[in-house]
Amino acid sequence: MRIIQANPANRLLAELDPEDFDPIGSQLRSVTLQRGAILQEQGSFVDTVYFPLNSIVSMVTTMLSGSTAETVMIGREGAVGMFPALGRRRAFARAIVQTPGAALSMPAAQIQEAALCSEPFKQLILRYKEYLMAQVIQTAACNALHSVEARLARRMLQMNDRAEGAPITETHVMMSQMLGARRTTVTLLAGKFQDHGIIRYRRGRISIIDRRRLEACACECYGIMRGQSHDMYGKLECLATMNAPPAPVHIQHRTTDERPRAT
């Protein structure tokens, strides 16, 4: 099935003018990404590029011990596996589907050919590469300098933005793996957020009840990353631009030790 550019749900593809999108659209195919599917493995060759529509993919670094940490989150604002168009064919990180849903896919070899034939498309990839690197760098600083509480709030907001306000479907185990934190710590903090009326959590579904208070709990990185998104696309992808948040809500807690199927 040929993909036609009619307000495409993927924000990155929407940046292209119709004449630049047309050759690419003829190569795109619709796929369904299942939760937990690994789209690419760290260090492996990248053979397919994915453009999420309503799915969310986490780029995860895995250590020899098996410990993991999320380095960047990709929703409909971006793409997974774009760098082969610039000559890099091995994956920097594992790409795992966090929120199942629809996506568009295209062979990496065809992406590279499209970049060679279209200067606007090549420039878009370069711009996206800079944006993605900025997100990764900010995430690295956040993981090193900020508390689990602030990082959990930041990540919930990022998931909520990409889900466009719909409930987040993620377990405490998944959240702890992405944050590189202990599950017991994440469970304790999520419980505190719920007790304070900021979120509602039930059977792996997280609904944000008081977004402004959750923003107040998050670190500065959330606002910085939103600004990077604004610079990339000229508008924010979340529900609405928020006013200045209220005074921070400090939640005290005890420290503890802490391939896809297509249809």
One DSSP character per residue, 214-246 reads: HHHHS-THHHHHHHHHHHHHSS--SS-------
Total domain count for the chain?
2
Strands, E assignment, the chain: 29-33, 38-40, 48-52, 56-62, 68-74, 94-99, 101-107, 168-169, 199-202, 205-208
Q: Is residue 239 part of a domain?
A: no
Q: Are residues 18 and 54 in the same domain?
A: yes
Q: CA-to-CA distance for 232 and 12, rounded, in angstroms?
A: 9
Q: Is residue 128 part of a domain?
A: no
Q: Are residues 101 and 178 in the same domain?
A: no
Q: Are residues 112 and 151 in the same domain?
A: no
Q: Is residue 95 part of a domain?
A: yes
Q: CA-to-CA distance for 90 and 139, rounded, in angstroms?
A: 22
CATH of the domain at 70: 2.60.120.10
Provide mean pLDDT across the span 107-134: 92
Q: Are residues 17 and 62 in the same domain?
A: yes
Q: Are residues 113 and 25 in the same domain?
A: yes
Q: Is residue 261 part of a domain?
A: no
- pLDDT tens, residue by residue, 53-89: 999 999 999 888 888 899 999 999 999 998 877 776 7
- pLDDT tens, residue by residue, 133-189: 999 999 999 999 999 999 999 999 999 999 887 888 888 999 999 999 999 999 999
| Domain boundaries, position 220 | 146-233
pLDDT of residue 234: 66
Q: CA-to-CA distance for 17 and 44, rounded, in angstroms?
A: 32
Q: Is residue 257 part of a domain?
A: no
